[in-house]
Every structure is written in C-alpha cells, then in structure tokens.
Amino acid sequence: MKIDIITIFPEFFDSFLNTSIIKRAIEENQVDIKAHQLRDFSKRKHHYIDDTPYGGGVGMLMQFPPFYEAIHHLKNEHTKVIMLSPQGKLFNQEYAKKYAKETHVILLCGHYEGIDARVENFIDDELSIGDYVLTGGEIPAMIFTDAVTRLLPGVIHEESSELDSLQNGWLKYPQYTKPESYKGYDVPDILRSGHHGNIEMWRKEQSVKRTMQKRPDLFSKIALTEEEKKIVHKIKTTLP
C-alpha cells in the first residue's frame, strides 16, 4: 500500500515514520509512506500557498491550485483522495478496515482557516477524528496512517488485530500479566485455571460487559447473536 500525505509541515512526520511498527512496516516494504511539501506545487512567487478568502473573513485560506497540482501529480486510476477535516465523517475502525484494502491513498492536510472548497471536486472522502478543531490535519493524518497500516497483512499478527477493541464491534476484555498478585490486587482465578474453554467464555462475557458499561453508544448498534443475547441477559441479571 502507498500513502501520500500533502502538508506544509512534512518534517512533522519525521519521528512518526521512523518509530516502532510504522518504521518496520516501511523497511519491510509493507507500506510506502511519504510526506510531500505542498509549497513544492505552488507556482506563486516564494511558493506561497495561502491567501485571504473571497467575501471577507478572518484568517488565511489555503489555495486551490497547489492542491490541484499535487493531487494530479501523485494520483493514479486506483487512488483514493481523502481530506482530513472537522466537517468530515467520523473516522473509526470500520473506515480503517475499508482503507486498508486500498492500494493508494492521498491525505490532504488543511491548515489556517481550511482549504479552498474547490478541492472537494477531487476528493473521495472527507474524514474527521472527532468533534473538535486542531491547528492542522497532520495529527489526523498520523492517526489515519497508523490505524490503517497496522491492519495491512504481515504488519502485526493477524490474530492480534482481530482481537483488538472495536475490530468486531466490541471493546476488548480486560488483560493481566505477571505478577499474579501485587499489594492485594490479584489476577482473576479463571485466567490461571488453564481451562481454555472457560477462559474464552469469560473473555467474551467481559468484552460484552465492558461495551455495555463503557460504550453504550456502540452496544446499541451491535446486532447480537443468540449467544451474545444470552450473555447480555446473564450480565443484566447480575448487575446491581
């Protein structure tokens, strides 16, 4: 997979692209990620990329021509162009899984008061990471890139990603490691029982319980299986 990021701060990504799983995925050619300087696509003197908005208003707006030139320089027939914006649809695990199946994605990072609206004629999606406003699209671009890259084949163990929170709608069950007891805080007995069937059922119940308690908004959207309906009933009858 190839991810091209168009930004006025490509250096913002230096540490991100040279750390941990992202670095390894790049080195092993599982993903090709590049941050491109938007100013390189400006034809104005001094490579300016912003100007005052038509109709008046505060602040500066990023111009359309540099983005137009960058998109057409980088895209191919299979490219998906995504603008990162607080006005976009909320990025979630389903979007991460969707875009992990693509071969090429271009991410547009806005700044200042945003981007000239004409760029919307050349995007395939507009995504937001939350209902708040950041100074630019660089952090959302990192979040998108990290969430998608870790789902690519071979980047992390497939079993690990399949058990992630939200991967199948549910939050992940609680996990523990050594020591089994510390200052009166103990690992649940069932996890030390060695009975894999019971452990698996406990984890499923805990996953459902956590989702019900921590993210009722997610729980209300899940189409329950018959087994899950029984777990929900069991949990509800034991809750205070």
Q: Determine whether 118 is an active site residue.
A: no
Q: Please tell me the distance from the alpha carbon of residue 87 to that of residue 90, in angstroms, as a whole number.
A: 9
90 shares a domain with 43: yes
Number of domains within the chain: 2
pLDDT band at 160 (very low <50, low <70, confident <90, very high): low
**pTM across the whole model:** 0.84
96 shares a domain with 139: yes
Q: Please tell me the distance from the alpha carbon of residue 161 to that of residue 178, in angstroms, as a whole number.
A: 23
Q: How far is CA 202 from CA 118, 160, 197, 206, 217, in A?
A: 53, 18, 9, 6, 23
CB atoms within 10 A of CB 142: 19
What is the model's pLDDT at position 166? 58
pLDDT band at 167 (very low <50, low <70, confident <90, very high): low
CB atoms within 10 A of CB 38: 24
What is the model's pLDDT at position 12? 95
Query: Considering 40, 69, 102, 113, which one is annotated as catalytic?
Result: 113
pLDDT band at 85 (very low <50, low <70, confident <90, very high): very high
Query: Considering 40, 51, 146, 164, which one is annotated as catalytic?
Result: 164
105 shares a domain with 204: no
CA 9 and chain centroid, separation:
20
What is the model's pLDDT at position 37? 98
Burial of 233 (0-12, 13-18, 19+ CB in 10 A): exposed
pLDDT above 70 covers a percentage of the chain that reads 96
φ and ψ at 134, to 5 degrees?
-105, 170
Query: Considering 53, 86, 126, 210, which one is annotated as catalytic?
Result: 86
Is pLDDT at 186 greater than 70 in this prediction?
yes
Q: Which of 106, 137, 156 is the last residue of a domain?
A: 156
Mean pLDDT over the full length of the chain: 92
What is the model's pLDDT at position 231? 93
Q: Any idea what the CATH number is for the domain that residue 181 is in?
A: 1.10.1270.20
203 shares a domain with 141: no
Q: Please tell me the distance from the alpha carbon of residue 76 to that of residue 211, in angstroms, as a whole number.
A: 41
Query: Considering 4, 50, 140, 150, which one is annotated as catalytic?
Result: 150
Q: How far is CA 31 from CA 18, 35, 148, 152, 186, in A?
A: 13, 13, 10, 8, 41
Q: Determine whether 150 is an active site residue.
A: yes
> What residue numbers bound the domain in which 65 lies?
2-156
pLDDT band at 14 (very low <50, low <70, confident <90, very high): very high
Q: Which of 136, 156, 176 is the last residue of a domain?
A: 156
136 shares a domain with 25: yes
Is pLDDT at 164 greater than 70 in this prediction?
no
Q: Determine whether 113 is an active site residue.
A: yes
Q: Which of 115, 140, 156 is the last residue of a domain?
A: 156
188 shares a domain with 81: no
Looking at the DSSP bridge assignments, the partners of residue 4 are 34, 106
Q: Determine whether 164 is an active site residue.
A: yes
CA atoms within 13 A on the CB side of 116: 17
